[in-house]
Amino acid sequence: MLRLSRNPGADTAIKLAAVACAMFAFVFVVMVPLYDVLCDALGINGKTSGVAYTAVPAVVDTSREVKIQFIATNNDGMPWEFRPQVTQLTVHPGAATDTIFYAANPTSLPMIAQAIPSVTPSRAAGYFHKTECFCFNQQPLEGLASTEMPLQFVVDQDLPKDIRTITLSYTLFDVTTMAGSTIAAR
Amino acid sequence: MGDHHHGPAKGLSRWLFTTNHKDIGTMYLWFSFAMFILGGTFAMIIRAELFQPGMQLVEPGFFNQMTTLHGLVMVFGAIMPSFVGLANWLIPMMIGAPDMALPRMNNWSFWILPPGFLMLASTLFMEGGAPAFGWTFYAPLSTTYAAPSVTFFIFAIHVLGISSIMGSINIIATIMNMRAPGMTYMKMPLFVWTWFITAFLLVAVMPVLAGAVTMMLMDIHFGTSFFSAAGGGDPVLFQHIFWFFGHPEVYIIILPAFGVVSQVIPAFSRKPLFGYASMVYATAAIAILSFVVWAHHMYTVGMPVAGELFFMYATMLIAVPTGVKVFNWVSTMWRGSLSFETPMLFSIGFLVLFTIGGFTGLMLSIAPADFQYHDTYFVVAHFHYVMVAGAVFSMTSAVYFWLPKWTGRMYNETMGKVHFWISFVGFNVTFFPQHFVGLAGMPRRVPDYALQFADFNMMSSIGAFVYGASQIMFLYNVIATIVSGEKVSDEQVWDGAEGLEWTLPTPAPYHTFEVPPKIEATPAHG
């Protein structure tokens, strides 16, 4: 056995203290990244990928249609006007589709927003690819300004057959005070 | 030897600078009782508000502060330190050691506790009030929406976490290095075994709790986004981290209670404990399983079905080792020569009521059914059956059992029995009806409720006042024993009590086992 001290009691204590420190570090360096990795890998929690999807050449599966619904929600205290241009689209898996979300800042101050997506059913999250999304970046807006924000997506051909409707929900957060700090866009 | 046989120092400095395990144990016990009264006062305010529907006494915001502080103070201030106190008093005496392995650290781990709780309690008087987000402090309720006092709460959790970690390191170091010659692991009394395993759990999960509150601190003050979706974090992550700590924590609370009951029941059955080895293995099995069941607290959070099933089956599996323990306690009593002194009454009360709490736990473990029970009074009833009737009853049993050994005086047996019966009836009147209102849909942590719950809530409140008042009788009995109890000089005190601590003179001298005792070759346990 490794001996760290002449007093066997203190020796045990030092080793146990090291275990305690290791467990503290474990939370930060293992649990947090592992949680993100698992959510990404398994597509659970409705989380979609935070980076743009590079479209692979694929045949458009015209044999079936998937209904895509869009929901826009403001987080608590967010004053912006935020809505999808169309609330529902019908697409074929494999076909790239464009749509637009509309945002307006009704206050007189410049603000920065961040949209966080979530997909329902969560099983579909891994099959919903965004090739272009306003949610990849923060959205700054001057006071009383408005903008149209683009979204391009592809539904994977491998989407399980029993999923006929996918709901994409965006929650808009006010990150004006957080901006500047590193924000991992999703 | 000469110089070593000094008694305790005089005055306040005896307590401030003491490194004696008995002094420190005593301080832990008194401190935890003070916290028990404080947390109990918060509970009385909660039950007074819930006596009738409608808002009567306190503001909803203050009500939330009461539920939060009641949970925090009872878990971290009353139950955990009380068992650490018991460990300090008893473990050296049970394994034939002169003191704890690291007496100075022992002093420190006690003395940082009162400042920690002072810090927590001081939040009550701060602007915005005390933490009001429940003892589970889910983010972002505890980060984005918390009162400024949350920072004090975070540091209080850090302080008492450090205290617990040091306490458990000391316990492990003592057990591993200071057993008398011949005291092999499988000869250790079961109380020592359960604490040994509990201490490992504490060393493993208290740092996780510290990590969770540190992340909260960083989210609040340093612009990180561990739990904030706006910055790419996830509030659900908080729940995973919290319950990764929180589930082993409930076994940290209950395992030492198992240990106490495993000492008391054989003594008053006048039989060795049935199935000693299986008790040890069952305790270890419970401890290991406790790390893989945490998400049963989060069935409704939106997990994949595979996750729900895994955590459901793993949780149900814990019923097996727990069932082994209950079976062994009952088998110990089977055909024993039973007598029903107060410690035995509290231990039997523990056995019956803890088993009920275990069964409601099994009900809650069923993921599909839990969607109805989640966050209702059914959960409140369940965890009070295991926390109060489990941990607190067994702690009370321990105090009555070892008090004569500690003080050399016998408590008032009649008053003890009256205390038990009032506690037993008061407890059940308080918490049994909560099963019904919970199943009928009354949510937890609400200051007001629908009219159909009125009768059961009034019963609950009356029971709570009775149970609360009976603890004053307990306090009186303990003080009266210390001051003027009938003197006991018999070393064994209870004719069925076994173990090294009962070979020492009564009251236990300030210094014991300076020369290690001889352990007989035959195992102490059947």
Domain boundaries, chain B: 27-503
Catalytic residue among B164, B342, B347, B397: B164
> Residue A185 pLDDT > 50, yes or no?
no
DSSP 8-class letter at B340:
-
Residues of chain B positioned with their CB less than 8 A from the CB of A123:
304
In sequence order, the 6+-apart residues with CB closer than 8 A to the CB of B524 are B187, B189, B498, B499
What's at A23, amino acid-wise?
Answer: M
Catalytic residue among B149, B322, B365, B470: B322
Beta carbons of A26 and B231 less than 8 Å apart: no
Q: Is the peptide bond before B507 cis (omega within 30 degrees of 0)?
A: yes
Catalytic residue among B21, B179, B325, B382: B325
Q: Which of residues 191-230 of B touch A (CB under 8 A)?
A: 203-208, 210-212, 215, 223-226, 229-230
Q: Which residue of B has its CA nearest to A21?
A: B207
- CATH number among 2.60.370.10, 3.30.9.10, 3.30.70.100, 3.30.70.20, domain A46-174: 2.60.370.10
> Is B276 considered catalytic here?
no
In sequence order, the 6+-apart residues with CB closer than 8 A to the CB of B360 are B378, B381, B382, B385, B435
A20 close to B (CB below 8 A): yes
Q: Which residue of B has its CA nearest to A50?
A: B232
**Phi/psi of residue A65, each to 5°?**
-125, 145
Determine the pLDDT at residue A16. 94
Determine the pLDDT at residue A126. 81
- What is the C-alpha R_g of chain A? 23
* Dist CA B154 CA B152 (whole Å): 5
Q: Which of residues 40-59 of A touch B (CB under 8 A)?
A: 42, 44-47, 50
Q: For residue B155, give Cα distances in angstroms to A164, B158, B225, B235, B424.
A: 50, 5, 20, 21, 37
Tokens representing B31?
């401190």
Determine the pLDDT at residue B521. 59
Beta carbons of A171 and B232 less than 8 Å apart: no
Catalytic residue among B296, B382, B405, B409: B296
Residues of chain B positioned with their CB less than 8 A from the CB of A27:
207-208, 211-212, 215, 241
The string of DSSP letters for A35-77 reads HHHHHHHHTGGGPPPSSPPPPPP----TT--EEEEEEEEEPTT
The structure's pTM equals 0.90
Strands A81-84 and A96-104: antiparallel
A160 close to B (CB below 8 A): no
> Is B168 considered catalytic here?
no
Query: Which of B164, B151, B80, B161 is closest to B122 using CA atoms?
Result: B151
Place of tokens 């808002």: B55
Catalytic residue among B444, B491, B503, B511: B444
Percent of chain A's residues with pLDDT above 70: 87
* Dist CA B438 CA B281 (whole Å): 35
Determine the pLDDT at residue B502. 95
Maximum distance among all alpha carbons in chain A? 77
> Residue A9 pLDDT > 70, yes or no?
yes
Query: Which of B295, B407, B483 is closest to A44 using CA atoms?
Result: B295
Beta carbons of B174 and A9 less than 8 Å apart: yes
A116 close to B (CB below 8 A): yes
Determine the pLDDT at residue A46. 67
> Is B99 considered catalytic here?
yes
Q: For residue A132, give Cα distances in angstroms to A51, A54, A136, B497.
A: 9, 9, 8, 75
Q: Which residues of chain B have pLDDT under 70?
A: 1-6, 521-526
pLDDT in tens, A21-49: 999 999 999 998 888 888 777 766 666 66
* Dist CA B193 CA B114 (whole Å): 28
- Tell me: domain B27-503, CATH 1.10.940.10, correct? no
Beta carbons of A184 and B208 less than 8 Å apart: no
Domain boundaries, chain A: 1-42, 46-174
3-state secondary structure of B439: helix
Beta carbons of A17 and B178 less than 8 Å apart: no
More confident residue, A57 or B357: B357
Instruction: Please count the residue pairs, one from chain A and one from chain B, whose beta carbons lie less than 8 angstroms apart.
Output: 114
The string of DSSP letters for B24-61 reads HHHHHHHHHHHHHHHHHHHHHHHHHHTTSSS--SS-HH
**Phi/psi of residue B184, each to 5°?**
-75, 165
Beta carbons of A42 and B229 less than 8 Å apart: no
Residues of chain B positioned with their CB less than 8 A from the CB of A75:
230
Catalytic residue among B21, B247, B409, B435: B247
Beta carbons of A116 and B230 less than 8 Å apart: yes
Determine the pLDDT at residue B98. 95
> Is B444 considered catalytic here?
yes
> Residue A102 pLDDT > 80, yes or no?
yes
pLDDT in tens, B249-273: 999 999 999 999 999 999 999 999 9
Determine the pLDDT at residue A186. 36
Across-strand partners of A122?
none
Place of tokens 């395992």: B255
Average pLDDT over chain A, rounded to whole? Answer: 84
> Is B251 considered catalytic here?
yes
> Is B21 considered catalytic here?
no
What's at B138, amino acid-wise?
Answer: Y
- ipTM of predicted complex: 0.87
* Dist CA B144 CA B235 (whole Å): 11
> Is B187 considered catalytic here?
no
Beta carbons of A16 and B234 less than 8 Å apart: no
The string of DSSP letters for B362-401 reads HHHHSHHHHHHHTTBHHHHHHHHHHIIIIIIHHHHHHHHH
Beta carbons of A184 and B232 less than 8 Å apart: yes
Query: A136, A56 in Cβ contact below 8 A?
Result: no
Determine the pLDDT at residue A55. 65
Determine the pLDDT at residue A183. 42
* Dist CA A13 CA B298 (whole Å): 35
